[in-house]
Amino acid sequence: MKMQRTYIKDIDEKKDGKEVLLKGWVQDIRDLSSVKFLLLRDYSGVVQAVAKPKTKVFDIVPKISIESIVEIKGKVKKNKEARKGYEIIIDDLKVLNEAETLPITVLEKGINIGLSKRLDYRFLDMRKEKVRAVFRIQSEIINAFREFFTKNDFIEIQAPGIISTATEGGTDLFPVKYFEKNAYLAQSPQLYKQMAAISLERVFSTMPVWRAEKHNTVRHLNESRQMDIEVAFADEMEIMKWMEKVIQFIVKKVIENCKDELKALNINLKVPKALYITYEEAVKKLKGMKYGDDFENEHEKKLCEMYPDTIIFIHEWPRSLKPFYIMPKDDKVTRGFDALYEGMEISSGGQRVHIPKILEEQLKKQGLNPKDFEYYISAFKYGAPKHSGWGLGLERLTMCLCGLDNIREACMFPRDRDRLVP
Ligand code: AMO
């Protein structure tokens, strides 16, 4: 009978002394005169395999190229000094697919290669422990987000990726040819999640969004992923609470389920507290800022340094700084907010305008033509409750939890001003 494959994570006490079949990548080879070591990696871990003298594999092992795909049959043996406390004494080895000389190393020390070169070879770069840790944590973040809102009776909606009008300002749209019409890649699910919430009450979405922002910064991508919610009958204070709760839930899940990954990244993650302050209060805390100024990244950093391990919710933003769909609170301020965490903005949102007349006025004020938004405005004419929501950047949150200083590290295949491949 064909032998079943064993995964490296399952090598334990019960397997001690037994013959196993392993498959994976050759991470490294150590060629000593008396013995040859091969580090084998699969999705679940790394184990040391040993070729002893006078065996048929002794001369073969040192010749195998790094990252080749191999199949190893061997005996599990306790060895306190080996990683995991066990090693494999190789009986037989087959090279399933030989790797050519690598353009970048996949060993941890190779992390110092420039980011741009690493991204050129991302398919190899993600074989490194630290890089894999980031994407494992990102997967936990998005799963926890879904779990939290599903448990709270929200439904996940799928908004379109091709749209006919700007939702987040007209200048940073990517045009696409849509048969005879002009269309754009969606900058956010904004208008669609609102139209869903006024019928379904509690919705969330996770989708890529596209922004043709020309600036190349360590916090911006031209394609990013947004986690959004929209809740009917809620105001901005209520939905900020949802964000406080979901981020705390996500961080707890990452602490619980990604212990090895956090260790690999050398991160001591803490469940954050929350602070709620008005825009006016925030401006007063910062030197060199005056009422009406938008926050620069240096201001966000300073505020976060004042309140470590805290999500800072800044609400009551001036009307001039928020989009047309944010509900005004009075003549001066809106019901919009921004959330800062670990030195940067991770989210913005607020209560929406659900009164068609106010919506038309706000569109005109921002230089937009209400005619282009007729489909959206009319949705609020047939029984629309007040509603609120926010969008949370997946890559930005990944940066915060993994301690990364460039957003490209938090995106498997980033799209920026200069990069369209791989
Ligand atoms: P906003 O434009 O602030 O709001 O986007 C929400 C969050 O998405 C992330 N984000 C980005 N991340 C990387 N690169 C980018 N270019 C980028 N743009 C945005 C950020 C940001 O805080 N419709 C509103 C949300 C709402 O009101 O519900 C919106 O899109 O983390």
Atom 23, ligand 1: which residue's CA is nearest?
190
Could you tell me if the CB of 6 is within 6 A of ligand 1? no
pLDDT for res 83: 84
H-type helices in 209-345, by residue range? 236-257, 259-265, 279-285, 297-306
User: Lowest mean pLDDT: which of 117-126, 161-170, 206-215?
Assistant: 161-170
Could you tell me if the CB of 400 is within 6 A of ligand 1? no
Could you tell me if the CB of 188 is within 6 A of ligand 1? yes
Answer yes or no: is pLDDT of 111 > 70.
no
Question: Residue 265: which of 83, 416, 410 has the closest Cα?
Answer: 410
How far away, in angstroms, is 345 Cα from ligand 1 center?
Answer: 9
Answer yes or no: is pLDDT of 180 > 80.
yes
**Hey, what are 120's tokens?**
């050129």
pLDDT for res 110: 59
Q: Counting atoms of ligand 1 from 1, which one is nearest the CA of 352?
A: 27
Average pLDDT rounded to a whole number, residues 361-390: 94
Give the count of alpha carbons within 13 A of 197, CB side only.
29
pLDDT tens profile 221-239:
999 999 999 999 999 999 9
Could you tell me if the CB of 323 is within 6 A of ligand 1? no
Q: d(Cα 385, Cα 380) in Å, to the nearest integer?
A: 8
Answer yes or no: is pLDDT of 6 > 70.
yes
pLDDT tens profile 9-25:
999 999 999 999 999 99
Question: Residue 348: which of 250, 252, 279 has the closest Cα?
Answer: 279
Residues forming a β-bridge with 78: 86
Atom 9, ligand 1: which residue's CA is nearest?
393
pLDDT tens profile 122-136:
999 999 999 999 999
pLDDT tens profile 339-372:
999 999 999 999 999 999 999 999 999 888 999 9
Could you tell me if the CB of 388 is within 6 A of ligand 1? no
Tokens 């805290």, located at residue: 310
Q: Amino acid identity, residue 93? A: L
Q: Counting atoms of ligand 1 from 1, which one is nearest the CA of 397?
A: 31
Atom 21, ligand 1: which residue's CA is nearest?
347
Residues forming a β-bridge with 22: 72
User: Which residue from 226, 327, 337, 390 has its CB within 8 A of the most atoms of ligand 1, so it is best to mutate?
Assistant: 226
Q: Give this prediction's pTM.
A: 0.96
pLDDT tens profile 263-318:
999 999 999 999 999 999 999 999 889 999 999 999 999 999 999 999 999 999 99
How far away, in angstroms, is 173 Cα from ligand 1 center?
Answer: 14
How far away, in angstroms, is 72 Cα from ligand 1 center?
Answer: 48
How far away, in angstroms, is 392 Cα from ligand 1 center?
Answer: 6
